[in-house]
Amino acid sequence: MLDWLASKVGVLIAVGVITAFVLGLFAWQHSAMVDREGQGVADSISGILDSIANLDAETKLNISFEDSGQLPQEIDGESYTVNITGDTVIVRAGNRMWMSGLLTGCIPRNITDRQFNLTEFGELDASGCTGEHASSGSFTAERAAVEVSGKTEYLTLVYWG
């Protein structure tokens, strides 16, 4: 009788260990997929900004987070925030964060004055950030022509609104 009870307890322990292992494996896979999805969003935004930064022409893109937009509204079922600095895209969802660098810098705001002298152009501040914005609505990426002492230069601007 004791042998029978010991074998049943041993089987229950083995089943518990195998179940814990399988559940742990699924949790790890899910975490890896969420990380891949979040990094994909950050890389998509930096890819869009880098692609327009190579143009020597004026253009304006409205980048949206809707189902029919360029970016998803949620990562793993929850909304996320986007913050763009002069050289980095930062995406946050819950307690996770993903970053993607920009190959060509941008100015994270809309500038209204489009005429500069060389000193003003050299002091143009690209070190700010757009602030954390929720994954709803849209933001604008613009390749803008500015006049610098009579010569046309192109800047990449990113701004919400």
- Taking the CA atoms of residue 45, residue 51, residue 56 and residue 59 in that order, the dihedral angle to the nearest 10 degrees is -50
Domain annotation covers residue 90:
yes
Query: Is residue 150 predicted with pLDDT exceeding 80?
Result: yes
Does residue 34 lie within any of the structural domains? no
Is 39 within 8 Å of 98 (Cβ atoms)? Answer: yes
pLDDT digits 0-9 by tens, 116-134 = 888 888 777 777 888 889 8
Secondary structure letter of residue 116 according to DSSP: E
- The answer to whether 126 and 76 have CB atoms below 8 angstroms apart is no
| Confidence (pTM) | 0.82
Partners of 158 in beta bridges: 141
Q: Are 43 and 65 in contact (CB under 8 A)?
A: no
Domain presence at residue 26: no
Give residue 97's domain range: 39-160
pLDDT digits (tens, 9 = 90+) for 8-53: 888 888 888 899 888 989 889 988 899 999 999 999 999 999 999 9
Q: Is residue 97 part of a domain?
A: yes
Residue 31 domain flag: no
For the chain, what is the domain count?
A: 1
In a domain, 5, yes or no: no
Residue 54 lies in a domain: yes
Instruction: Answer for the pair 102, 49: CB distance below 8 angstroms, yes or no.
Output: yes
Q: Is residue 3 part of a domain?
A: no
Yes or no: say if 28 and 116 are a contact pair by the CB < 8 Å rule: no
